[in-house]
Chains A and B, each alone.
Chain A
Amino acid sequence: PQAFQIFILHKVLISRNYMGNMDMNEVDHFMPIMMRMEEDAESLPLVTHGSAHFLWIKHRNLYLVAMTKKNANAALVYSFLYKMVEVFKEYFKELEEESIRDNFVTVYELMDEVMDFGFPQTTDSKILQEYITQQGHKLDVGAPRPPATVTNAVSWRSEGIKYRKNEVFMDVIESVNLLVSATGSVLRSEIVGSIKLKVVLSGMPELRLGLNDKVLFEITGREKCKTVELEDVKFHQCVRLSRFENDRTISFIPPDGESELMSYRLNTTVKPLIWIESVIEKFSHSRVEIKVKARSQFKSRSTANNVAIMVPVPSDADSPKFKTSTGSCKYLPEKSVVQWNIKSFPGGKEYMMRAHFGLPSVESTELEGRRPITVNFEIPYFTVSGIQVRYLKIIEKSGYEALPWVRYITQSGDYQLRTN
Chain B
Amino acid sequence: MTDSKYFTTNKKGEIFELKAELNNEKKEKRKEAVKKVIAAMTVGKDVSSLFPDVVNCMQTDNLELKKLVYLYLMNYAKSQPDMAIMAVNSFVKDCEDPNPLIRALAVRTMGCIRVDKITEYLCEPLRKCLKDEDPYVRKTAAVCVAKLHDINAQMVEDQGFLDSLRDLIADSNPMVVANAVAALSEISESHPNSNLLDLNPQNINKLLTALNECTEWGQIFILDCLSNYNPKDEREAQRPEILKQEIKVFFVKYNDPIYVKLEKLDIMIRLASQANIAQVLAELKEYATEVDVDFVRKAVRAIGRCAIKVEQSAERCVSTLLDLIQTKVNYVVQEAIVVIRDIFRKYPNKYESIIATLCENLDSLDEPDARAAMIWIVGEYAERIDNADELLESFLEGFHDESTQVQLTLLTAIVKLFLKKPSETQELVQQVLSLATQDSDNPDLRDRGYIYWRLLSTDPVTAKEVVLSEKPLISEETDLIEPTLLDELICHIGSLASVYHKPPNAFVEGSHGIHRKHLPIQHGSIDTGESPVSAGPAAPIEQAQSVIPSQGDLLGDLLNLDLGPPVNVPQQSSMQMGAVDLLGGGLDSLLGGDLGGGVGGSPAVGQNFIPSSVPNTFAPSPTPAVLSSGLNDLFELSTGMAITTGGYVTPKSIWLPAVKAKGLEISGTFSRRQGQMYMDMTFTNKALQHMTDFAIQFNKNSFGVIPTTPLPIHTPLMPSQSIEVSLPLNTIGPVMKMDPLNNLQVAVKNNIDVFYFSGLIPLNIFFVEDGKMERQVFLATWKDIPNENELQYQIKECHLNADTVSGKLQNDNIYTIAKRNVEGQDMLYQSLKLTNGIWILAELRIQPGNPNYTLSLKCRAPEVTQYVYQVYDSVLKN
Contact = CB atoms under 8 A, between A and B. Distances in A.
Q: Do the two chains belong together in a single complex?
A: yes
Interface of A: 1-3, 12-14, 17, 19-21, 42-46, 48, 51, 53, 68-76, 80, 98, 101-105, 108-109, 112, 116-124, 131, 136-140, 143-146, 150-151, 153, 155, 179, 181-182, 187-188, 237, 241-242, 367-372, 414, 416, 418
B111 interface: yes
A153 B218 CA distance: 12
A146 B136 contact: yes
B143 A153 contact: no
Contacts of B35: 105
Interface stretch (B96-104, B391-399, B850-858): B96-104
B132 to A, nearest CB: 11
Contacts of A151: 134-136, 139, 173-176
Contacts of B68: 105, 108
A47 to B, nearest CB: 11
Given A20-B112, A187-B248, A119 B217 contact: yes
A43 B499 CA distance: 15
Contact of B61 (A139, A144, A153, A414): A139
Contact of B175 (A2, A48, A155): A155
B62 interface: yes
Given A71-B508, A122-B215, A138-B61, A143 B67 contact: no
Contacts of A74: 494-496, 498-499
18 contacts: A53-B496, A69-B508, A70-B504, A80-B217, A101-B2, A108-B67, A108-B68, A116-B179, A121-B215, A131-B101, A137-B62, A146-B134, A181-B286, A182-B286, A368-B291, A369-B291, A369-B292, A414-B253
B187 to A, nearest CB: 11
B63 A14 contact: no
B63 A102 contact: no
Contact of A76 (B6, B104, B258, B494): B494
Nearest to A189: B248
A109 B494 contact: no
B101 A116 contact: no
Contact of B64 (A20, A137, A414): A137
Nearest to B66: A139
B143 A119 contact: yes
Q: Point out which of A103, A131, A145 has the most chain B C-beta atoms below 10 A from its C-beta.
A: A145
A136 B64 contact: yes
Contacts of A119: 143, 179, 182, 217, 221
A-B pairs with lowest CB-CB distance, top 5 = A102-B2, A71-B504, A120-B217, A146-B136, A75-B494
Given A80-B217, A151-B176, A414-B253, 4 more contacts: A72-B495, A101-B3, A121-B215, A137-B62
Q: Point out which of A151, A241, A371, A372 has the most chain B C-beta atoms below 10 A from its C-beta.
A: A151
A109 B38 CA distance: 12
B251 A188 contact: yes
Contacts of A414: 253
A109 B498 CA distance: 33
A106 B221 CA distance: 27
Interface string B181-199: 0100010010000000000
Contacts of A48: 507
Interface in B437-488: none
Nearest to A367: B291
Contacts of A73: 220, 224, 494-495
Contacts of B39: 104
B213 interface: yes
B44 A121 contact: no
B7 interface: yes
B146 interface: yes
Nearest to B31: A136
Interface in B156-215: 173-176, 179, 182, 186, 189, 212-215
B625 interface: no
Contacts of B44: 12
B371 interface: no
Interface in B1-27: 2-4, 6-7
Contacts of B499: 46, 74
B217 to A, nearest CB: 4
Contact of B495 (A71, A143, A187): A71
Contacts of A117: 111-112, 143, 146-147, 186
Interface string B815-857: 0000000000000000000000000000000000000000000
Interface string B131-148: 000111001100100110
A139 B100 contact: no
A51 B259 CA distance: 22
A19 B42 CA distance: 18
Interface in B86-143: 99-102, 104, 108, 111-112, 114, 134-136, 139-140, 143
Nearest to A3: B186
Contacts of B182: 2, 119
A268 B170 CA distance: 44
B257 interface: yes
A131 B63 CA distance: 11
Given A45-B259, A51-B507, A98-B4, A370 B63 contact: no
B61 A371 contact: no
B452 to A, nearest CB: 42
Given A1-B186, A1-B189, A98-B4, A155 B215 contact: yes
B85 to A, nearest CB: 18
A395 B6 CA distance: 51
Nearest to A98: B4
B390 interface: no
Nearest to A51: B509
Contacts of B2: 101-103
A395 to B, nearest CB: 21
A139 B147 CA distance: 27
B100 to A, nearest CB: 5
Nearest to B102: A139
A122 B71 CA distance: 19
A139 B215 contact: no
B259 A43 contact: yes
A72 B186 CA distance: 11
A138 B99 CA distance: 12
A102 B6 CA distance: 9
A68 B499 CA distance: 14
Contact of A69 (B100, B146, B509): B509
Contacts of A155: 175, 213-215
A123 B101 contact: no
Contact of B38 (A3, A75, A108, A150): A108
Contacts of A143: 63, 99, 101
A418 B254 CA distance: 9
A108 B6 CA distance: 15
B651 to A, nearest CB: 35
Contacts of A137: 62-64
A372 B286 CA distance: 12
A72 B499 CA distance: 11
B788 interface: no
Contact of A139 (B62, B173, B492): B62
A116 B146 CA distance: 10
Contacts of A2: 182
A124 B215 contact: yes
Given A71-B497, A136-B31, A43 B504 contact: no
Contacts of B258: 42-43
B45 to A, nearest CB: 13
B257 A43 contact: yes
Contacts of B249: 188
A83 B31 CA distance: 30
Contact of A71 (B150, B215, B492): B492
A369 B254 CA distance: 9
Contacts of A139: 60-63, 66, 99, 102
A69 B511 CA distance: 10
Contacts of B65: 136
Contacts of B31: 136
